[in-house]
Structure 1
Amino acid sequence: MRIAAFIYFSLIFGSLYAQKDSVNINELDEVLLFGNEQTINSINKELFSVNTISAQQINQVGANNLADILNQQLNISITPNAADGRSTVSMFGLSGDYVKILVDNVPLVSDNGYGNNIDLTQINLEDIARIEIAEGAMGVLYGDNAVAGVINIITKKSSASKWNIRASVQEETVGEEYNFEDEGRHIQNLNIAHNISDHWYASANFSRNDFNGFKNNYFGRDYFGMSGNSVANDGRRGYEWNPKLQHTLNGMLKFAKNDFNFFYKFNYYNETLDIYNHAINTRIQDGEYDITANDEQFVSNRFRHEAQAFGNLNQVHYNLSLSYQTQVRDYETYVYDLRRQQKRSTTSKMTNQESDLWFSKGTFENLLSKSANFNLTAGYEITYQQGYDAVASGAYSDNIAEQDLGNYDVFSQLSFTKNNWSIYPGVRYNHNSNYDGKLIWSTSANYKPAKDLKLQAVVGSAYKTPTFTNLYYYFVDANHDVRGNPDLKPEDGISYLISAEKTSVLNNEFRLQNNLKFFHFDIQDKIDLAVVGDNSQMEYLNISEYKILGVSTENNFSYKNFQTNIGLSYTGISQSLETELSNPDDYLFSLNATAALRYYWPKAETRFSLLLKYNGELQQYFRDNDTNEFVKGTQEDYSLMDASINKYFFKKRFEVTLGARNLFNVVRVNNSAITATSGHEAPSTSLLFGYGRSYFLKLLYNLNI
């Protein structure tokens, strides 16, 4: 990486003298060939508090998947899992079950259901126009389980040129581990877009992401320990973060004429996850050691078909979408021969998870077009999921069963605008196939006392139906007994979000934007795992009241080519369990902070970026298993910092990005909030949060014809 850095800076300074023509400070926006690209599939910023991450910001930090870019956002935290490589999101202290993730306003299916608790590492960002993060009660327009907010990923749907071809390679260390063969992270991407005619547009994108795992204190797949002349089963084989290979293929065809727009999108995702057992098996056979290990492999395949039509009909804006998604996960166990470094025997592959999802949504806006002050939006949403998870629902029993779950909703949103006031009351009737109908409501209100000041309030239902996992999970073997509960009732409650935004502009060079938010969530009948019976059986139950109270502020400052963003969030969580013992329900607060510094050097066509996030100390009450009393556990604070340099060459045809992630080298975080002991203190342990400081180099070639 030192050689790469030397070459990179040499190119920077060399280009200062080689280039004669200057370049505009800001990158040109895409030419909008088909309607207003900035509003297609976008979240209404008048209704909700929305933050936007642009394609330029994504590219500038070398982000390849959604986890790479969300890790530095205020009020958002990412929870990684080293065993299966999953990374899930939480917002305002609420887990991924309460955050809906959409692609072009369509929920994404995964091995955990759809829309919620999605593995962020499975969402590729190479063909993304922008990411919108909306906060607050969004159940009326986006359905149940959109309690904390919505993350909407908008894909590219236009190109400025007849042909656009983008090819990139990215090499990244994993901690200090890297080589071209079996260490580090190796990413390749190819994107082709073509304006076929004035009305037709097509694009295709292929990406390969080869993550070779993180050994840390382990020694890889082929290791076995020796103690003298004997084989030592020292538990050092394998990886701390298991290897994972991902392939993504996207295709889109779009037609637009007059007030009618239509596009069809296809997505294929393939993932292979290898899990290498830390323990080995040894025996002496024919005078020599026979050394094997029992390993596992998971292969996931996901197909996604989506069609959308949108436009204007008699002054009514309509958007109709239909999507079919299917995901299949195959599982294989096999015996690996460590001496010969090959598979010896294997079980036949079995499909242990399968999910099919049908989704349709229609939205009709401007239904009261003749009214000066009133407007009406109405729509419907239908979701039907069918499938099973054999690992969770019967791999260790004879009870494998296919289940289905459906939501059939209609909704409406009324807007009233008068002078500086705007009020948006809305309702949705949710009919879940497992439950009676439920009326979800929300109200947004905006007041603009001055051109540069906006006050906003969002109040609404915190309604959440049990997920597929909550209802049907079943994991029972010699060491586990964890079960879903088909008798669960939905969670309900109320959420509040109040914000004030002030924008100051001076001489078209200085810009200051301040945003202050207050938020409160009160969730009743929250679903949690609890121990039931006498055999440590765990089951999902409606057992707690969950409250969140907090304040956050974000401050954006820009002057000429310099931009900075500083954010602070102070959040408290209170949880009261319905148990036979009284338990503490006071708020436990945590401080989080973010800072982003960006500078553009126009003469060298170079952008510099520095991102910092502080995750404050977390506290939580747990029950002491010996004394049956509640004690407090603590997870220590930690900070993350990323830095990057992005440079154009040859009139923006060639782009180089050099950067570093996790500069503070965070791997594990001390945590005593796991279980409690009879000493009234939880034992100190550590949670795996990263794989240390890593460096990346991305080379991108962009050809416009």
Structure 2
Amino acid sequence: MGQIKLKDSLQVKKIDEVVITGQFSPQSLKKSVFNVKIITSKDIENLSANNFTDVLNQYLNITLQPSGLNGRSTVSLFGLDAQYFKIMVDNVPLVNENGLGNNIDLSQINLNDIERVEIVEGSMGVTHGANTVTGVLNIITKKKIQGKLALRVGVQEETIGKEFSFFNKGRHIQNFKLSYSYKGKLYFDLGINRNDFKGFYDTKYGKFYTENDGNRGFRWLPKEQINGTATIVYNTDNFTLNYKSEIFNELVKFYNSTVQSGYHDDLGYYRYTNDKRYFINRLFHNFNFSGNLYSNINYTASFSYQKQERKVENFKFNLYDKYESNNDLFKDQSMEVYYSTGSLSNFFNTNKADLLLGYELVSNKGFSMIQKENNILEPIEKRINNYDFYVSSELSITDKFSLKPGLRFSIQSLFQNQYASSLALRYLFDKGIEMRLSYGTSYRTPNFTELYSKQIFDGHFFSGNEKLIPETSTSYEASIKKVRDLKNKTILSSQLSGSFIDLNNKIDMVLFRFNPDTGNPEYQYVNISRYKVLNITTLTQLKNQKTSVSLGASLVGVSQNIDNQLFYSGKDYLYSFNCNANLSYSFSKPQINVSLYYKYNGRVQQLVEGVTKYEISKIDSSNWLDFTLQKKILKGKIETSVGARNILNITNINQSGVEQAKGHARNTQLMLAYGRSFFVKILYNLNF
């Protein structure tokens, strides 16, 4: 990729170009046995991203799954959704209202604290536990500054399609951060970020529209996010203490498109709607200790408390007099987590061998309001614990050849105990050629919704299943890369990689019976399918001090073997093709940086359950093009950015073959984006 530089061996000569994800201790990318991709804070600034969705939108193999109906943005990797891909902050999985580390809403992640992002594709079950079938994404936060005191203030204004005004339309972002460092031993920062998305009207007419023709409300729901963070770091020669705290609040507004009529003795005839507000709140605390024992053994331990909950407020809104009534606020979902992980390493005073012993303790308390028959809401609360222990070693057979085996044992409170294993190797050939091979097993435990959810209404029946068992996977990966130094300090890197994932006992919601009394179909989550993924990816990068060019392509094949006892899906592979091409150039005079990002998401085919057989649903291809121009003035104190996102004006894309899925009609239009948008961003930096 271009300005989203997936920096592997291109910059290994930099002393600070190190990775920590999946490593015993920070080390260079070239020495890592895993293929680690890095996105830096500079890359994020060059994108002028308004949330984490914009950052990952250019990443090959990742497909974004935004929703204008609930405001969430998640990802899928290799065709598997966000439940198989773990997102962490400083090696600690991030909570959401339905789980830990998975199915995270990317729009809720604060960009201002990010130092870099490390992405490892493939099974990471040994080092990072459950739900890492397709990989992990680790957000490393900022913990130092240049100088003693730093102040950063930013404002960003962005159109939503063609819609913009300073108060009622568009997106409006403000952020502030104050950082302090004392003699390299003490670091402290406070930050706040506000992201106000006013919604996308498109052909709708907003909150106060009074006609019952389906045009009231918004195509994409308005939402406001406020994120506050605090960090404390204390360093000595052999000890480091990190404390990270975050408070996140989000308000999503739902305006019903159905307008109803009523009569009141005092008011006469009036029109009203049944609207909703969603309140999402997250609390994050994490303590991390690291240092040395006996001048040799390295230790690290994290202790985290997190909670995220979603509350729903239902109310009746009078469109004539513009007032609310019958307000009912209740908790809909929540997840409370106590989490700890730690390790000991560097037992041997040699560079030839290392051993790591680690643990992970997780206690999740989930809550959900389920909908039973006759629209009766019933709360359900459950606690799920797991206690994991793992061991891994790294053997440097020669300077060029290294091995890394590992094993994890997980004691589960709800399921059978689980295991994960891995073996990775790296070999450095002459002339800058690197080869990596890996094998790994992992598992995904059923989430709270799959286990306990229930929705029964108007002839529909969708239910969780407490008898579900964890999914298990085996993955294989291979890559070869060549790095060449050209003239004028130019580096050319080319990489070809392939992977295969075999997933057993995949959980899907399927038709499991017809009600003997009503004849209505009933659906339930069950372990019924086998899922295989074949992936081939190529990436070429050319980089020097002024220019960065990147070309990438990926072919993904998915085979899903489903048997719901009524009919069978078959084993054929369904393929999709993706590619990207990015260019960045820095002009010395007048000190302007220009970046262009392009990504092609090929047609996706997937199986959906029909009435008599499994149908192939096809999602059309899409093209995404972004442009950013940046300039720094007053010796970098002021940074300005202007640009355009989604230049090709993508909004909805077609999905065919889904009319019979899940027993009722479904939309054939997927809401992918809200069209072409333009932005202006100004940052003020002050350092002492």
* Fold match (TM-score > 0.5): yes
Deviation at 1:116, TM superposition (A): 0.5
Does the C-alpha gap of structure 1 residues 237 and 610 become closer, same or farther in structure 2, counting only changes over 3 Å? same
2:258 aligns to what?
279
1:436 aligns to what?
416
Q: Map Cα deviations across residues 276-323 of structure 1 (whole Å, 9 max, x no partner).
A: 000111245679641111100011111111100112223122111000
* Contact kept in structure 1, 2:512 and 2:564, CA below 8 Å: no
Which letter does structure 2 place at the counterpart of 1:478? D
Residues 34-49 of structure 1: matches in 2 within 5 Å?
Answer: 42-44=21-23, 45=29, 46-49=32-35
Percent identity for Structure 1 against Structure 2: 35
* Contact kept in structure 2, 1:282 and 1:290, CA below 8 Å: yes
* Contact kept in structure 2, 1:481 and 1:538, CA below 8 Å: yes
Residues 384-395 of structure 1: matches in 2 within 5 Å?
Answer: 384-391=363-370
Partner Cα distance (1:394, 1:203) in 2: 51
* Contact kept in structure 2, 1:133 and 1:150, CA below 8 Å: yes
Residues 516-595 of structure 1: matches in 2 within 5 Å?
Answer: 516-534=496-514, 535-580=520-565, 581-595=567-581
Which letter does structure 2 place at the counterpart of 1:577? I
1:111 to 97, 100, 110: 97
Which letter does structure 1 place at the counterpart of 2:571? D
Instruction: Describe the SS at the equivalent of 2:450.
Output: helix
Partner Cα distance (1:480, 1:37) in 2: 56
2:588 aligns to what?
602
Verify: 1:56 aligned to 2:42, yes or no. Answer: yes
Partner Cα distance (1:571, 1:446) in 2: 24
2:158 aligns to what?
172
1:691 to 667, 671, 674: 674
Deviation at 1:410, TM superposition (A): 0.4
Partner Cα distance (1:208, 1:684) in 2: 33
1:299 aligns to what?
279
Does the C-alpha gap of structure 1 residues 480 and 163 become closer, same or farther in structure 2, counting only changes over 3 Å? farther
Verify: 1:317 aligned to 2:298, yes or no. Answer: yes
Does the C-alpha gap of structure 1 residues 319 and 156 become closer, same or farther in structure 2, counting only changes over 3 Å? same
* Contact kept in structure 2, 1:405 and 1:468, CA below 8 Å: no
* Contact kept in structure 2, 1:49 and 1:136, CA below 8 Å: no
Verify: 1:663 aligned to 2:647, yes or no. Answer: yes
1:341 to 317, 322, 328: 322
Does the C-alpha gap of structure 1 residues 483 and 683 become closer, same or farther in structure 2, counting only changes over 3 Å? closer
Does the C-alpha gap of structure 1 residues 50 and 335 become closer, same or farther in structure 2, counting only changes over 3 Å? same
* Contact kept in structure 1, 2:372 and 2:455, CA below 8 Å: yes
Does the C-alpha gap of structure 1 residues 285 and 437 become closer, same or farther in structure 2, counting only changes over 3 Å? closer
Task: Specify every segment of 5 or more residues in structure 2 that has no aligned partner in the other structure, as ranges.
Answer: 6-14, 24-28, 515-519
Partner Cα distance (1:290, 1:413) in 2: 69
Q: Map Cα deviations across residues 5-51 of structure 1 (whole Å, 9 max, x no partner).
A: xxxxxxxxxxxxxxxxxxxxx9xxxxxxxxx9765854435132111
Which letter does structure 2 place at the counterpart of 1:259? N
Partner Cα distance (1:124, 1:105) in 2: 16
Q: Map Cα deviations across residues 455-495 of structure 1 (whole Å, 9 max, x no partner).
A: 00121113211122221222223354221111111111311
* Contact kept in structure 1, 2:123 and 2:135, CA below 8 Å: yes
1:672 aligns to what?
656
Partner Cα distance (1:300, 1:484) in 2: 23
Verify: 1:614 aligned to 2:600, yes or no. Answer: yes
Which letter does structure 1 place at the counterpart of 2:318? D
Verify: 1:474 aligned to 2:459, yes or no. Answer: no
Deviation at 1:623, TM superposition (A): 3.8
1:416 aligns to what?
395
Verify: 1:191 aligned to 2:174, yes or no. Answer: no
Deviation at 1:380, TM superposition (A): 0.3
The two structures, once aligned, show a CA RMSD in angstroms of 2.0
Verify: 1:380 aligned to 2:359, yes or no. Answer: yes
Does the C-alpha gap of structure 1 residues 297 and 175 become closer, same or farther in structure 2, counting only changes over 3 Å? same
Does the C-alpha gap of structure 1 residues 39 and 480 become closer, same or farther in structure 2, counting only changes over 3 Å? farther
* Contact kept in structure 1, 2:481 and 2:496, CA below 8 Å: yes
Structure 2 length as normaliser, TM-score? 0.92
Q: Map Cα deviations across residues 585-630 of structure 1 (whole Å, 9 max, x no partner).
A: 11011110011111111222211111111010111233431xx133
2:385 aligns to what?
406
Verify: 1:460 aligned to 2:436, yes or no. Answer: no
Q: Map Cα deviations across residues 218-242 of structure 1 (whole Å, 9 max, x no partner).
A: 11001123xxxxxxx1010000100
Deviation at 1:214, TM superposition (A): 0.5
Which letter does structure 1 place at the counterpart of 2:681? K
1:142 to 106, 128, 142: 128
Does the C-alpha gap of structure 1 residues 285 and 395 become closer, same or farther in structure 2, counting only changes over 3 Å? closer
* Contact kept in structure 2, 1:416 and 1:424, CA below 8 Å: yes
Does the C-alpha gap of structure 1 residues 177 and 106 become closer, same or farther in structure 2, counting only changes over 3 Å? same
Instruction: Describe the SS at the equivalent of 2:589.
Output: helix
Partner Cα distance (1:675, 1:522) in 2: 29
Q: Map Cα deviations across residues 178-215 of structure 1 (whole Å, 9 max, x no partner).
A: 10111100000001000144421100110000001111
Partner Cα distance (2:527, 2:178) in 1: 50
Instruction: Describe the SS at the equivalent of 2:127.
Output: helix
Residues 28-39 of structure 1: matches in 2 within 5 Å?
Answer: none
Q: Map Cα deviations across residues 66-103 of structure 1 (whole Å, 9 max, x no partner).
A: 11100110011100111111011111211101000000
Instruction: Describe the SS at the equivalent of 1:390.
Output: strand
Instruction: Describe the SS at the equivalent of 1:551.
Output: strand
Instruction: Describe the SS at the equivalent of 2:379.
Output: coil
Does the C-alpha gap of structure 1 residues 73 and 447 become closer, same or farther in structure 2, counting only changes over 3 Å? same
* Contact kept in structure 1, 2:421 and 2:442, CA below 8 Å: no
Partner Cα distance (2:184, 2:37) in 1: 33
2:465 aligns to what?
485
* Contact kept in structure 1, 2:19 and 2:118, CA below 8 Å: no
1:3 aligns to what?
none
Partner Cα distance (2:44, 2:326) in 1: 42
2:624 to 640, 659, 665: 640
Partner Cα distance (1:138, 1:198) in 2: 34
Deviation at 1:560, TM superposition (A): 4.0
Which letter does structure 1 place at the counterpart of 2:497? K
Structure 1 length as normaliser, TM-score? 0.90
Does the C-alpha gap of structure 1 residues 263 and 333 become closer, same or farther in structure 2, counting only changes over 3 Å? same
Deviation at 1:673, TM superposition (A): 4.0
Instruction: Describe the SS at the equivalent of 2:451.
Output: helix
Instruction: Describe the SS at the equivalent of 2:45.
Output: helix
Which letter does structure 2 place at the counterpart of 1:697? V
1:181 to 167, 178, 181: 167
Does the C-alpha gap of structure 1 residues 694 and 433 become closer, same or farther in structure 2, counting only changes over 3 Å? same
Task: Specify every segment of 5 or more residues in structure 1 that has no aligned partner in the other structure, as ranges.
Answer: 1-25, 27-35, 226-232
Verify: 1:77 aligned to 2:57, yes or no. Answer: no
* Contact kept in structure 2, 1:393 and 1:472, CA below 8 Å: no
Partner Cα distance (1:622, 1:631) in 2: 5
Partner Cα distance (1:70, 1:213) in 2: 22
Which letter does structure 2 place at the counterpart of 1:635? I
Partner Cα distance (1:40, 1:72) in 2: 21
Matched residue pairs, number? 656
Instruction: Describe the SS at the equivalent of 1:203.
Output: strand
1:236 aligns to what?
215
1:8 aligns to what?
none
Deviation at 1:509, TM superposition (A): 2.0
* Contact kept in structure 1, 2:442 and 2:473, CA below 8 Å: yes
Partner Cα distance (1:498, 1:404) in 2: 39
Which letter does structure 1 place at the counterpart of 2:478? I
Q: Map Cα deviations across residues 113-142 of structure 1 (whole Å, 9 max, x no partner).
A: 110010000001011101111111100000
2:10 aligns to what?
none
Deviation at 1:338, TM superposition (A): 1.4
Deviation at 1:578, TM superposition (A): 1.8
Instruction: Describe the SS at the equivalent of 2:674.
Output: coil
